[in-house]
Amino acid sequence: MVIKVPPKNIEKEPLKIGVLIDFHNGDEAFQVLHDTMELVFDEAYESGLLDRKVEIVVKVAEGLPRGNYHTTLKAYKELVEAGVLCVHGPKISENAITLRQYVDTEGHVPCVAMVGSDRWYGEWCFCVNNGSLTEEPYMMTNYLRTQGLKNIAVVYDESAIGEELLGYFRKAARSDGIKILGEKAVSHLEEDLTDAAMFLKEKGGDAAVYLGFGISAVRLNKAFEKIGWTPPHRLMSSSFMTAPALPEGVRSLMGWVGIDQYDEENVVAQAFLDRFEKRYGYRPQNFWSVLNYDITHVIAQALSNARPLSPMGVKAALESIKLLPAAAGGVGTTITFGPYMRSAWRTKDFLVFREPDPDFTGEPGRLGPPGTILRHRYNPLPPLTAED
């Protein structure tokens, strides 16, 4: 007996990609994230890079520093249960450091994060870094050295982020001949930083340096006004990039020079923003759009090359990505992974220095012009000698 099975048209199921938001930084930020991911995945499908559409599954968890780590772990588990092939996230180092163990030992769904801590990297834990807690300090002391600023005082967040930055800043300062006159820890939840401002004033020196999550720098500015003192120079880590998400935007960090990832001269970034503006009617000229473009582009490339189309296949495909042109950072920035390589960047210019533009009169936020100007790119200098 022959049993005939009627033909059935079966459409390919969409590819599920998770988004883990462990720090909610406003509706504008989420809009840019959503629109960027939608654009990149649609372009990948329309160009034939992907043979099916992508379904984005979002989980929002208020993790550290405002919430707790457990919510981040719970959100990641929910994404795994939803059947995602890869996770875009996490975003905050303090959550990532602890999450890594579960991702590597039980979760086994690869994550492409934007965190800055080296303690994130693992078999399933990749990173297109939004700054680097270990490399930023060397870039900061390079800036200080090129500006002739040799004596500085430091305020740092008493947290995993602040302390990792400080440890490497001490090493970088020795390497570049920068003298640290004093260090003061502050809580990133502390609102009145008058004592910290007085500490910086009393230590004197050429510059005040801030290492941490970001909000403390705004509170330091208010404290400087309170005590009637203007530091000769102010330098901060990549927490500078929190400015667009703050109520007063970049104006709240006036006077600070900080690390950023948006460079107007990057042609990959400008081409992406041209396509973005044509489709959505606004132009988010800041690190948030270009960095999310890079992460989503990385995931799209991995989906295209995954064999089999499973979390394990995506992990192997991520390891095969080489010299992918990046929108974040300066001209020529590329992304490369490998079996033992989990940090994406292959150029010093994945980070640049910017400062608030005193002439900027636009609205704060993520949807338009950056409101900042380029100040410095890393400038390789010869090692110090006895004469220095």
335-360 confidence digits (pLDDT tens): 999 999 999 998 889 999 999 999 98
Q: Which pLDDT band holds residue 6 (cuts at 50, 70, 90)? A: low
Q: Which pLDDT band holds residue 129 (cuts at 50, 70, 90)? A: very high
Q: Which pLDDT band holds residue 9 (cuts at 50, 70, 90)? A: low
Alpha-carbon gap, residue 74 to 64, rounded angstroms: 13
* 34, 80, 195, 221 from 226: Cα distances, Å: 40, 49, 11, 9
Alpha-carbon gap, residue 221 to 155, rounded angstroms: 13
pLDDT at 54 over 90: yes
Nearest to 357 by CA among 374, 338, 341: 374
3-state helix, strand, coil in the chain (%, to 5): 40, 20, 40
State whether CATH 3.90.1150.10 applies to domain 136-263+351-376: no
Residue 230, C-beta contacts closer than 8 angstroms, at least 6 positions apart: 224, 255
What is the distance between the terminal CA atoms of the chain, rounded to a whole angstrom?
A: 93
In three-state secondary structure terms, 208 is: strand
Comparing 25-29, 174-178, 363-367, the range with the smallest average pLDDT is 363-367
Alpha-carbon gap, residue 264 to 338, rounded angstroms: 29
Domain 15-131+266-347: give its CATH code. Answer: 3.40.50.2300
Average pLDDT over residues 126-138: 96
What percentage of the chain carries pLDDT values higher than 70? 97
**Residues 125 and 286 sit within 8 Å (Cβ to Cβ):** no
Strands 334-335 and 352-356: unpaired
Alpha-carbon gap, residue 32 to 20, rounded angstroms: 15
Q: Do domains 15-131+266-347 and 136-263+351-376 have the same CATH topology?
A: yes
The position carrying tokens 């992907």 is 50
In three-state secondary structure terms, 177 is: coil
- In the chain, what are the domain boundaries? 15-131+266-347, 136-263+351-376
pTM of the predicted structure, to 2 decimals: 0.93
